[in-house]
Amino acid sequence: MRSCPGGNAIVIGGGYIGMECAAALVANKIKVTIVFPGKHCMGRLFTPKIAEFYENYYTSKGVTFIKGTAVSSLEISSGKVTTAILRDGRRLPADMVVVGIGARANTALFEGQLVMEKGGIKVNGQMQTSNASVYAVGDVATFPVTLFGGDARRFEHVDCARRTARHAVAAALDPSGPAGDIDYLPFFYSRVFALSWRFYGDNAGEAVHFGDLGFSASSTPKFGAFWVSAAGRIAGAFLEGGSPEEYEAIAHAVRSGAAVPDVTQLAREGLAFVFRDGRSPAARPRPRPRGLSGGGGGDKPSYAWHATVGVAVAVFIAALAYWYDQKAPCLVKHSF
């Protein structure tokens, strides 16, 4: 960024990394164009309505979106990129290119030695692999999610990395202790520009939007969506511009699987629905949390504890690599 102030940046990818990188580039007074093949940004999470708001907001900050195509090649001169050529033939001036097209777990070191599942290393509720003396955490770990009926999932987000690492350390130090099996509430968040959103649970089922999703440069946005399962319960929740109490309320609604007798009523009431009739923990005394795995819910991470976990995991990886008599690779690599 320092090498091209006021220059042109091409961001390849309209997902989580692409959107956050674009915001950082704009903050550093760099002109940004985001290129991706999908119909809207954040396609794995956002509904079209939610995506439209964020695309309009980014556009108001000077970002250009080019959708439905991809960068096919780059032109280089004197060791520096000068042009990005799109699949449809368009040529975009570029002083820098940021590639954010997703990641995949690099499990090559353990192939044939540990059981794999859904692109990651299969673990149990205590983050143990098929070799009980080996633990896997973070992006590489595929673990059973109680909220999803024990279905095994793999999550690519810092919150999951922190919480699975914490749980693995607790389980390893005291296997018969209070940690038990991890009970993780899937949690994603982002803070860019003047925006701040959180998502809990699973974006499966019928999406029910609430609040004002219309973009206005002069207003402070507050809107969201609930995902209602076929069984008529809240499976996921998204909220932009919420307070700590509101984020906690939607997290609780997801974790408890709040019943939704009428989706029209849910859309009309929005946040009021999860606060009504004592559905929210903010409306009644809170029980003392059990165990270490929690997930989401607005609680603040203990960074000193995470640093300790990080050191412990790093030492473990280094020792494992020494055992294999080879340098340990990065456990996550980008796929281009």
Q: Where are the domains of the chain?
A: 8-101, 104-184+293-334, 187-283
What is the DSSP pairing of strand 103-105 with strand 332-334?
Answer: antiparallel
Residue 313 pLDDT greater than 50, yes or no = no
Helices marked H in 28-148: 48-60
Contact criterion met (CB below 8 Å) for 39 and 67: yes
CATH code matching the domain that covers 104-184+293-334, chosen among 3.90.420.10, 3.40.30.10, 3.30.70.920, 3.50.50.60: 3.50.50.60
What is the structure's pLDDT at 90?
97
Average pLDDT score over residue span 109-117: 96
Q: Please identify which residue in the block is written with the tokens 């509101």.
A: 246
In CATH, which of 3.40.309.10, 3.30.360.10, 3.40.1410.10, 3.30.390.30 is domain 187-283? 3.30.390.30
pLDDT at position 19 over 60: yes
Mean pLDDT, the chain, whole residue set:
86
For the ranges 93-97, 242-246, 320-324, the lowest mean pLDDT is seen at 320-324
Same fold, 8-101 and 187-283: no
Q: What is the DSSP letter of 117?
A: E
The single-letter code of the amino acid at 32 is V
8-101 fold? FAD/NAD(P)-binding domain (3.50.50)
For residues 173 and 97, give the distance between their C-alpha atoms in angstroms, rounded to a whole number: 45
Average pLDDT over residues 210-224: 89
